[in-house]
A and B are shown apart, each in its own frame.
Chain A
Amino acid sequence: MESVTTPTTNSGATAERSAELRKTSLNALHRKLGARMVNFGGWDMPVEYPATGGLLAEHKAVRNSVGVFDVSHMGDIRIRTGRTPGGALAAVQHLSMNDASKLAVGQAQYSALLYPAGTFVDDVIVHRLGEDDFLFVINAGTREKDISWVRENTKEFDCVVEDLSDAYTQLAIQGPRAVDVLRKLTDANLDAIKNYWFTHGTVCGLPERLIARTGYTGEDGFEIYAPSDVVTSEKVWNAVMDAGKEFGIAPCGLGARNTLRLEAKMALYGHEISEKINVWEAGLERYCKMEKRDFIGRAALAKAAAARPERTLVGLEMLERGIARDEYKVFDAAGEEVGVVTSGSPSPTLGKNIALAYAPPALAALNTVLFVEVRTQRVKAQVVATPFYKRVKKSAPQAAGSN
């Protein structure tokens, strides 16, 4: 037997190289919990926790109750104004494709940093900490690239760029009961925080912590930012686990994070978005504000909008036995190679095998039959509506342990 881990969890993790891998402050704790660790973008991260049920149990915990993820490998860049009022906002508007001027203080938005070609440096969540004070939360694997990009492209603006990536232990508490878990640990009024808003409050006795109603799972949930020293990090993790015990909280790894985000059709850098894919192809136009006068990538995107796109992101459901995996080829009914899978996996929530793939717009209509090459066979699939999974917003919380 030889395992080929899908690129989502970055194959090539070897014991020999683990010494060079970067670690979050919770690394020892993950190992103590018996997590299976993988190399994810140069980070030694938990992919699942077999001792507490493993990937499928983690996925279900988040969909039905609550789970917690260590996402401290994510990077954080703060952009503040220097002397001139408006300096930071101007810099952010230049860097980011979404419109940060629309953000209230305490609000966040999904966005991306683009190359002049309109393709992706990275996707980011932009938080407006103050009138002229912003926090970008960026991907782990692109940290260095993003930070240089931001520094390089803000030189003409009166702003201060700070790399705070190592300053925080970031925990994502996700699932319909996340609010009930966090309520036990904070004095902040969580009901007042809408989706994609944040506040500062005391968490586990630590004052002034950033508490954001954000996540990467398609569920309700929060991301909290604690000081990154090991003692504090473990204290916060353990407090979250204790508070979540009555709801059956599961420690969750990158495996469940991937299946959850795929069902919710959230893009993963290096897969659905990259330096070779532009905003229109990725279907992220909702977050790209062309009415902004200027931002990096705008001119190329204006040009691309006038032309017919060659490919578009589609959702696939496998109709025959076989699991589509990242980078598998896609064929049309005539046997012509027409595209490629960017993310493919069994969907634990739907009990089907699903995938995101790039295909020509002419083959993107719902119910179009396509074929995915799974090893030696071409397995039938069809284009389906996305997201594959959409949460039903509940007016009242469900009973604990209802499943």
Chain B
Amino acid sequence: MAYPTNYRYTKEHEWVDAKDGMAKIGITDYAQSELGDVVFVELPAAGKKLETGKSFGTVESVKAVSEIYAPASGEVVEANGELQNKPETINSDPHGAAWLVKIKLANPAELDKLMDSAAYEAYIAAKGKEASA
């Protein structure tokens, strides 16, 4: 699956799609494929303040629990309620329909520290090599 070039990525495998001080956050295709079948999502309500690097929710597969870390600080404007009934969307469309939260960024410049798609793809390719070594 392609990694959108206009997104930014974290080492913990979240993506951020930012525009005009607002941002959608999700987990990457690599993350969902490592997790396997997603069966449960827990997200914060609108109004919740996120702090960079702090856990703000969980995504669970049958066998594992994953914390989701905020790639940037900001306030939750909307959580993706659809995921509660259809958590498997995270497996089928991780970079699109399965966005987790929309936030109002506290400091859009924070995103400059994150990886672009080329850097992220190199990062996960290196991880893949490590795993098969």
List of A residues within 8 angstroms of B130 by Cβ = 15-16
Closest to B132 in A: A31
Q: Which of A145-178 contact B (CB under 8 A)?
A: none
Closest to A11 in B: B64
Q: Are B58 and A55 in touch, CB under 8 angstroms?
A: no
Query: Which of A3, A36, A345 has most B Cβ within 10 Å?
Result: A3
List of A residues within 8 angstroms of B33 by Cβ = 50
List of B residues within 8 angstroms of A259 by Cβ = 62
With A54-B37, A255-B36 given, is the CB distance from A375 to B63 under 8 Å?
no
Q: Are B40 and A3 in touch, CB under 8 angstroms?
A: no
List of B residues within 8 angstroms of A5 by Cβ = 63-64
List of B residues within 8 angstroms of A251 by Cβ = none
Cα(A322)–Cα(B13), bound, Å: 23
Q: Are A1 and B13 in touch, CB under 8 angstroms?
A: yes
Cα(A377)–Cα(B40), bound, Å: 15
What distance in Å separates the Cβ of A54 from its nearest Cβ neighbour in chain B? 5
Instruction: From A1, A323, A345, give the contact of B69 (CB < 8 A).
Output: A1
Instruction: Tell me whether A48 is interfacial, beta carbon within 8 Å.
Output: yes
Cα(A3)–Cα(B130), bound, Å: 17
Instruction: Tell me whether B12 is interfacial, beta carbon within 8 Å.
Output: yes
What distance in Å separates the Cβ of A126 from its nearest Cβ neighbour in chain B? 30
With A15-B133, A50-B33, A255-B36 given, is the CB distance from A55 to B67 under 8 Å?
no
Q: Are A345 and B67 in touch, CB under 8 angstroms?
A: no
Cα(A47)–Cα(B35), bound, Å: 11
Cα(A1)–Cα(B100), bound, Å: 12
Instruction: Tell me whether A217 is interfacial, beta carbon within 8 Å.
Output: no
Instruction: Tell me whether B112 is interfacial, beta carbon within 8 Å.
Output: no
Q: Which of A282-339 contact B (CB under 8 A)?
A: 321-323, 325
Count residues of chain B with CB under 8 A from any CB of chain A: 30
Q: Are B62 and A4 in touch, CB under 8 angstroms?
A: no
List of B residues within 8 angstroms of A56 by Cβ = 37, 62
Size category of the A interface is 20 to 34
List of A residues within 8 angstroms of B66 by Cβ = 1-4
Instruction: Tell me whether A9 is interfacial, beta carbon within 8 Å.
Output: yes
Instruction: Tell me whether A96 is interfacial, beta carbon within 8 Å.
Output: no
Cα(A15)–Cα(B40), bound, Å: 27
Q: Are A325 and B40 in touch, CB under 8 angstroms?
A: no
Instruction: From A15, A55, A323, A375, give the contact of B131 (CB < 8 A).
Output: A15
Closest to B55 in A: A2
Q: Are B40 and A346 in touch, CB under 8 angstroms?
A: yes
Instruction: Tell me whether B27 is interfacial, beta carbon within 8 Å.
Output: yes
Instruction: Tell me whether A8 is interfacial, beta carbon within 8 Å.
Output: yes
List of A residues within 8 angstroms of B132 by Cβ = 31
Instruction: Tell me whether B14 is interfacial, beta carbon within 8 Å.
Output: yes
Closest to B14 in A: A1
Q: Are B13 and A348 in touch, CB under 8 angstroms?
A: no
Instruction: Tell me whether B97 is interfacial, beta carbon within 8 Å.
Output: no
Q: Are A1 and B63 in touch, CB under 8 angstroms?
A: no
List of B residues within 8 angstroms of A368 by Cβ = none
Instruction: Tell me whether B98 is interfacial, beta carbon within 8 Å.
Output: no
With A1-B68, A346-B39 given, is the CB distance from A255 to B27 under 8 Å?
no
What distance in Å separates the Cβ of A203 from its nearest Cβ neighbour in chain B? 31
Q: Are A55 and B35 in touch, CB under 8 angstroms?
A: no
Instruction: Render A13-51 as a binary contact track against B, CB cut-off 8 A, 1 for contact.
Output: 001101100000000000100001000000000011010
Q: Are B64 and A346 in touch, CB under 8 angstroms?
A: no
Cα(A258)–Cα(B61), bound, Å: 14
Instruction: Tell me whether B65 is interfacial, beta carbon within 8 Å.
Output: yes
Instruction: Tell me whether A238 is interfacial, beta carbon within 8 Å.
Output: no
Q: Are B68 and A6 in touch, CB under 8 angstroms?
A: no
Q: Are B62 and A348 in touch, CB under 8 angstroms?
A: yes
List of B residues within 8 angstroms of A36 by Cβ = 34, 36
Q: Are B27 and A1 in touch, CB under 8 angstroms?
A: yes
List of B residues within 8 angstroms of A16 by Cβ = 130
Q: Are A1 and B59 in touch, CB under 8 angstroms?
A: yes
Q: Are B59 and A255 in touch, CB under 8 angstroms?
A: no
List of A residues within 8 angstroms of B36 by Cβ = 36, 48, 50, 54-55, 255
Can you name 16 A-B residue pairings with CB atoms under 8 Å? A1-B13, A1-B14, A1-B31, A1-B66, A2-B67, A3-B35, A6-B64, A36-B36, A55-B36, A55-B37, A56-B62, A259-B62, A325-B65, A345-B63, A346-B40, A375-B58
- Interface pairs A-B: 5 shortest CB-CB: A15-B130, A1-B13, A1-B31, A56-B37, A5-B64
Known contacts A255-B63, A325-B65, A346-B39; 13 further A-B pairs (Cβ under 8 A)? A1-B12, A1-B13, A1-B14, A1-B66, A1-B68, A6-B63, A8-B63, A15-B131, A19-B133, A50-B36, A55-B62, A323-B65, A375-B58
